[in-house]
Amino acid sequence: MAPMKIEPKSEHNLDGYGAPLIPWSKIRDRLDQGFTQEPEKGGPNRHTCWLTTVRPDGRPHVMPLGAEWVDGAFYFTSGANTRKAKNLALNPECVITVATHDFDIVVEGRASRVTDPALVARIAKIYQDGGWPAQLSDDGTSLTAEYSAPSAGPPPYMIYQVIPRTVFALGAAEPYGATSFRF
């Protein structure tokens, strides 16, 4: 499957200090590089993605997770009985954030469960290549593993996809700046 190159429909400079618009190509290229959760390998000490969902009573719920950027979308896993999975079942609107060396990136979108066995297998392989020994479940629509992040709950692990609707990029290095992109 060829990488999908998502392109914004609009962009807006949010910087109030005269910094230039941050080009989408720089943000996309940084996301395409991926991030490691390995200590001392990302900024500030490691890269951590954070998922924000909405509880049934409207309060936000934020948890760290191991997300992968693949072909213009974020993918992550969750056990069915976790708070984030329950929240997404009621309201799929969510936000994923990550701090990289050059940019703090905020992605707003809708999470949808991935059930296509070919895509589940592809995401499983990406996780395996990154060091997590996840395997396909018997039905091919979720993952199993002896361990996962504490916030993931017990297996099976469902895979979710978040396609960006809005992305905010905040410069963390020269020339700084802040730009929003709508898709």
Would you write out the chain's pLDDT as a tens digit for each of its 183 residues? 444 678 999 999 999 899 999 999 999 999 998 876 555 554 555 568 999 999 999 999 999 998 999 999 999 999 999 999 999 999 999 999 999 889 999 999 999 999 999 999 999 999 999 888 999 999 999 999 988 877 788 889 999 999 999 999 999 988 999 999 999
The whole-model pTM stands at 0.90
Whether 28 and 167 have beta carbons less than 8 Å apart is answered as no
Rounded distance between C-alpha atoms, residue 148 and residue 154, angstroms = 8
Domain-wise residue ranges, the chain: 10-114+163-182
Beta bridge partners of residue 11, listed in sequence order: 181
Helix, strand or coil, per DSSP, at residue 94: strand
Query: 3.40.50.10490, 2.30.110.10, 2.40.37.10, 2.40.30.40: which CATH number matches 10-114+163-182?
Result: 2.30.110.10
The pLDDT value given to residue 26: 95
- What DSSP string runs through 124-146? HHHHHHTT---EE-TTSSSEE-S
Closest CA to 160 of 50, 107, 85: 85
Q: Specify the residue for token string 């992550």.
A: 76
The pLDDT value given to residue 148: 82
Closest CA to 99 of 63, 28, 34, 47: 47
The pLDDT value given to residue 2: 45
The pLDDT value given to residue 107: 98
The pLDDT value given to residue 160: 98
